[in-house]
Amino acid sequence: MSKSKLTTMREAIARHVPSGSMVVLGTQLAQMIPFAAGHELIRQGKRDLTLAGPASDILFDQLIGAGCVSRVMASWIGNLTGGVGYCFRRAVERQIPQRVDTVDYTNFTMALALHAAAMGVPFMPTYSTFGSDLNAKNGNLREFPSPVNEDKLIAVRALRPDVAIVQVQRADQGGNAHLWGSLGVAVDAARAARSVIVIAEEIVAPEVIASDPNRTLIPEFLVAAVVHEPFGAHPSPVQGYYGRDHAFFTQYHEQSRELDDFEQWLQRWVLRVPGRPEYVKQLGDCRVGELAVRQHAYSAPADFGY
Amino acid sequence: MGRAERKYGIIVAPLPAGTAASKEYSLTELMVIAGAREIADGEMVLVGMRLAMLAYLVAKRTHAPNAIGLYDNGIIRTAATTEPLYTVGDPANIGGATQCGQTLDVMGYLQQGRVQVGFVGAAEVDRCGNVNALWGSNGSEAHRLPGAGGGCDIACLAQRSVVMIAHDRNRLRERVGHITSPGYGSGNGWREAHRLPARTGPSAIITDLGVMRFGSDGEAFLASIHPGVQVEQVLAATGWSLRVADALLDTSPPSATELEALRSADPNHFWTR
């Protein structure tokens, strides 16, 4: 059995995400966004982070509003059901709480940037973004002539984050992780990053992982730390564990419109909350219960026998 | 013409015989239903967010039951969801999926040219179908918007791309200040010159007042007008001198089935009013 990498959220973030890091998160798009990890980044006062990823719903906005971020490399920064991200807007337009630079991607080109790093090559080619002002302004998207035909393509430069924070359904103590449902760019992000923090709803025995190796999308040798953090993705959903708290996103939208309101929101939901268990308590049993899976839908077992 | 003069109200549509569906609908509902009609049965659709999720569900439940939905998060569905969706990552959009792949898998199908139609989110769109999703303007103030998402990829690579947007002259502009997702650029030949794949490009801009399509010169023209809307009203709400088709059509009002499909997909009117 491999050695345990189980640790607390506080320790994982303290050890593996120094200020100034490039962090990829929100890799499964609207699902499994590592909010608990993001809130710990805020509580520990990380500064000068570069956030990377296709999108992270309102987590990017919160990290920006809390002053942790100096650069965002992403395709979409806002509130999926609310619209704009007000903290992001304040930072870009008025440098509140500080200036944030953006390097704008599309979902495809962000996926390709991580894929190139995952493959160990300097770029991946695409026909996307031709004619878009994005490739005129993002120096990581460069036109080049195809060496094998007459086409021109866009080279998407490999993106190698310092750390990937990936929320999963279950993992063993060594970091072998099962995830399913919305995968997005998670697999390539884990391979692309220099180290990976796995945030798991459940810690399971290695035998459970080994029983279904097709579902092991992150192997232990990529992983630096494993954190057991139930409800760690709330208000985003985790397939098979809990649903999306739509009202929370709407409430955040209202409560982040004005700077003072956002600061109160941040105090209430992040800064005055020691960790995820207390956060869940603050949500209340009723709200947590409403998000529970109403009808389980287990896959048929696959026979790995021989 | 300012916002106050825009016609948004509930209008009365003819009630199809023998149905008990609501006879009232809003022009926003008709916009989504007209979006659904852009999907032909059996087509592969890169769905996108927000109103596009609803348009796809309406198509699946009415005239296009065999359409295949692809989502940016890697989900591929041949069966429509039965529950309302707020995001494409909602658990209800994943339970019962045909395949849960990766973003790259879906984008690969798009780049191969297999995807017939995709929906592009837009804050502004211009006379040649170019979309701005990055920098909005409100008078002299510039506002940073969320960004391209997968919209630019769809606009570049789908055989047909469709924009749904509220009809307002501040949003339908002569020329967008930032081309986030390319349409026909400055007109005919521009996409080829900018090395975008052949047989791709915008096919419709659908608003709450009408449907615009594109001439061979790459410029949008008014192709159909929604019930109760006047041509002058559309022209006044458009930021350029919009051409009108010689044979201007009337947009068919929602059928009872279409309206029922839409309202079951958005029962709390979260997206449509």
Question: Which two structure tokens, joined as six digits, stand for B101?
Answer: 């792949």
Contact call for residues A235 and A61 (beta carbons, < 8 A): no
Per the CB < 8 Å rule, is B134 touching A104?
yes
Provide the pLDDT for residue B23: 59
Is the alpha carbon torsion for B45, B51, B54, B58 positive or negative? Answer: negative
A278 and A141 within one domain = no
A132 and A74 within one domain = no
The one-letter amino acid code at B152 reads C
Domain with A206, as residue range(s), is: 6-105+160-290
Option in A107, A129, A152 nearest B103 (CB): A107
A273 and A130 within one domain = no
Cβ atoms within 10 A of the Cβ of A21, count?
18
A208 and A233 within one domain = yes
Q: In chain A, which residues have their Cβ closer than 8 Å to the Cβ of B145?
A: 78, 84
Q: Is the pLDDT of residue B64 over 70?
A: yes
Say what percent of chain A tops pLDDT 70.
Answer: 100
Using DSSP, state whether B104 is helix, strand or coil.
Answer: helix
- Rounded to the nearest angstrom, the gap between the alpha carbon of residue A253 and the centroid of all alpha carbons in its chain is 20
Rounded Cα–Cα distance for residues A196 and A191 (Å): 8
Using DSSP, state whether B149 is helix, strand or coil.
Answer: coil
Please give the ipTM for the structure prediction. Answer: 0.97
**Tokens 């991946």 sit on residue:** A124
Cβ atoms within 10 A of the Cβ of A146, count?
10
Q: In chain B, which residues have their Cβ closer than 8 Å to the Cβ of A233?
A: none
CATH number at residue A271: 3.40.1080.10
In a domain, A110, yes or no: no
A148 and A190 within one domain = no
Provide the pLDDT for residue B18: 39
Question: Which two structure tokens, joined as six digits, stand for B79?
Answer: 């069966």
Rounded Cα–Cα distance for residues B200 and A212 (Å): 41
Rounded Cα–Cα distance for residues B47 and B125 (Å): 19
Per the CB < 8 Å rule, is B89 touching A105?
no
B18 vs A51, higher pLDDT: A51
Q: In this structure, what is the dihedral angle of CA atoms B100, B106, B109, B115, given to the nearest 10 degrees?
A: 100
Provide the pLDDT for residue B11: 35
Q: In chain B, which residues have their Cβ closer than 8 Å to the Cβ of A87?
A: none
In a domain, A114, yes or no: no
A74 and A144 within one domain = no
Per-residue pLDDT tens over the stretch B164-220: 999 999 999 999 999 999 999 999 999 999 999 999 999 999 999 999 999 999 999
Per-residue pLDDT tens over the stretch A69-84: 999 999 999 999 999 9
A178 and A65 within one domain = yes
| Chain B from 203 to 262: CB within 8 A of any A CB | none
Q: In chain A, which residues have their Cβ closer than 8 Å to the Cβ of B157?
A: 127-128
In a domain, A118, yes or no: no
In a domain, A302, yes or no: no
Rounded Cα–Cα distance for residues A175 and A6 (Å): 8
Question: What is the DSSP-derived secondary structure letter of residue B218?
Answer: S
Count of domains for chain A:
2
Per-residue pLDDT tens over the stretch B236-262: 999 999 999 999 999 999 999 999 999
Q: Which helix (H) or strand (E) covers residue B135, if one does?
A: strand B135-138
Is the alpha carbon torsion for A65, A66, A67, A69 positive or negative? Answer: negative
Rounded Cα–Cα distance for residues B265 and B43 (Å): 20
Per the CB < 8 Å rule, is B91 touching A108?
no
Label residue A1 by pLDDT band (50, 70, 90): low
Nearest residue to B197 via CA among B137, B151, B233, B156: B156
Per-residue pLDDT tens over the stretch A212-258: 999 999 999 999 999 999 999 999 999 999 999 999 999 999 999 99
A75 and A42 within one domain = yes
Label residue B61 by pLDDT band (50, 70, 90): very high
Rounded Cα–Cα distance for residues B140 and B119 (Å): 29
Nearest residue to A165 via CA among A15, A3, A47, A1: A15
Count Cβ atoms within 10 A of the Cβ of residue B273 and give its class: 0-12 exposed, 13-18 middle, 19 or more buried: exposed
The answer, for B269 touching chain A at a CB cutoff of 8 Å, is no
Find the mean pLDDT for residues A287-301: 97
Provide the pLDDT for residue B36: 98
A92 and A209 within one domain = yes
Rounded Cα–Cα distance for residues A250 and A79 (Å): 9
Per-residue pLDDT tens over the stretch B16-55: 443 444 459 999 999 999 999 999 999 999 998 899 999 9
Q: Assign a CATH topology to domain B24-265.
A: Glutaconate Coenzyme A-transferase (3.40.1080)
Q: In chain A, which residues have their Cβ closer than 8 Å to the Cβ of B153?
A: 106-109, 128-129
A267 and A208 within one domain = yes
| Chain B from 155 to 184: CB within 8 A of any A CB | 155-157, 178-182
C-alpha distance from B157 to closest chain A C-alpha (Å): 7
Q: Is the pLDDT of residue B10 over 70?
A: no
Which of A110-114, A126-130, B4-8 shows the lowest mean pLDDT across its residues? B4-8
Option in B74, B145, B147 nearest A184 (CB): B74
Q: What is the mean pLDDT of chain B?
A: 91
Q: Which residue of B has its CA nearest to A242?
A: B91
Question: Which two structure tokens, joined as six digits, stand for B255?
Answer: 């059928």
A220 and A135 within one domain = no
Provide the pLDDT for residue B12: 34
Question: Which two structure tokens, joined as six digits, stand for A127?
Answer: 């026909």
Per the CB < 8 Å rule, is B94 touching A181?
yes
A221 and A188 within one domain = yes
**Residue A65 φ/ψ, nearest 5 degrees:** -60, -30
Provide the pLDDT for residue A64: 98
Cβ atoms within 10 A of the Cβ of A121, count?
10
